[in-house]
Structure formats: structure tokens, C-alpha cells
Amino acid sequence: MNQLKRYLGIVWMALAPIAIFYLIKTAAAEISAKPVIDTKIQWGVFVVVFIPIAIGLGLFGYYAFKGEYDHLPDRSDEITD
């Protein structure tokens, strides 16, 4: 199971920049198709909100690849700082 977590970490790290690329590509296409202020604001908000989410996805994948999730605590006394 830990190997699967590490392999999926690679998938998440690769998925983050790909998702950002397609989001920006789609936003540019939509804005150029209908260049009114409403469309610009809508896609601007989508991009601004989604980019940190995608960065978090990449970080999650990095930590999964490094093995940070190999042992998850069962009880609260197993948590260390």
C-alpha cells in the first residue's frame, strides 16, 4: 500500500501543473471568444482560486512520494511535533 501511495504521489505532482496549464488555456480561449468584463472577472476568479488548490495538490503528491504518509497515527498520543 505504501508503494501505491508513492506512485500516486508522482501522479499528483504531474497532475498539478497539467491542470494549471489547461485551466489557463481554457480561460484564455473563453475570454478571447467573449471579451466582455463579466467573462474576464469570472475566469480571473477561477484561475486565482484554482492555482493555490493545484499547488496544494502538487505538495500533497510531493509528501506522498517522500513517504510522509507511510505511517498514519491510530491514536492522538502517537502524534509527534
pLDDT score recorded for residue 76: 79
**Is a pLDDT exceeding 80 seen at residue 72?**
no
Domain-located, residue 75: no
Quickly count: other Cβ atoms within 10 Å of residue 64's Cβ. Answer: 22
Gyration radius from the chain CA atoms: 18
Q: Which domain holds residue 17?
A: 2-70
Per-residue pLDDT, 24: 96
Banded pLDDT at 70 (limits 50, 70, 90) = confident
Could you count the other beta carbons within 10 Å of the beta carbon of residue 43?
19
pLDDT of residue 34: 93
Q: Is residue 36 part of a domain?
A: yes
The grid coordinates listed for 4 are 501505491
User: Is 77 within a domain?
Assistant: no
Residue 38 grid cell: 463579466
pLDDT for position 75: 81
Average of pLDDT values for 60-67? 93
Q: What's the domain count of the chain? A: 1
Residues 43 and 67: their CA atoms lie apart, in Å, by 36
In a domain, 52, yes or no: yes
Mean pLDDT rounded to a whole number for the chain = 91
Residue 25 lies in a domain: yes
Sign of the CA dihedral running 56, 62, 65, 70: negative
